[in-house]
Amino acid sequence: MIAYVTVGVDDIARAKRFYSAFLPALDYGLEEGPEGLSYALPIQPGQSVAPPDFYVKPTFDGRPASAGNGTMVAFQARSQKQVRDLHAAALAAGGSDEGQPGFRDAYGPQFYVGYLRDPQGNKIALFSNDPNEPGRDG
């Protein structure tokens, strides 16, 4: 199981504006510290394993942060509408579009996804895969 994911950024304030535009709507809480931003899902009563945390931090070596080629972090939304809403909110908060929300032929008929880049260039996906919503073929 993944324990945490970290993305490097050069401008914490810009990153906070971007990630705070959609992560709280997905139930992530934010803790800020001198080392950066820590977003975490709440641990539910009786839950034996903590969900992975998401960290947004300056680089440890002090050199400029860069996005990994082929690296992407995906966050699951509750619905297709939430994917659209959060994609729009993230764009308004300084992100750039990497693929408008919609179905992709390469994935299952229910997989609905929108792609973004954060202000640093890290690739982010927001997706829903709810079998109770209309699918690509429906």
The answer to whether residue 85 sits within a structural domain is: yes
CATH number of residue 27's parent domain: 3.10.180.10
Tell which phi-psi region holds residue 13, choosing left (phi > 0), alpha (psi between -120 and 50) or beta. Answer: alpha
Measured CA to CA, the distance from residue 33 to residue 10 in angstroms comes to 15
Task: Return the pLDDT at 2.
Answer: 84
Name the one residue in this structure whose structure tokens are 């810009």.
Answer: 14
For the chain, the domain total comes to: 1
The answer to whether residue 52 sits within a structural domain is: yes
pLDDT tens-digit readout, 10-62: 999 999 999 999 999 999 999 999 899 999 999 888 888 888 999 999 999 99
pLDDT at 1 over 80: no
The answer to whether residue 93 sits within a structural domain is: yes
Share of the chain above pLDDT 70, in %: 99
CB 1 within 8 A of CB 50: no
Task: Return the pLDDT at 138.
Answer: 63
The answer to whether residue 133 sits within a structural domain is: no
The answer to whether residue 109 sits within a structural domain is: yes
The answer to whether residue 103 sits within a structural domain is: yes
The answer to whether residue 135 sits within a structural domain is: no
Domain around 95? 4-128
Read off the pTM: 0.91
Antiparallel, parallel or unpaired: β 4-8 and 29-33: unpaired
The answer to whether residue 134 sits within a structural domain is: no
3-state helix, strand, coil in the chain (%, to 5): 15, 35, 50
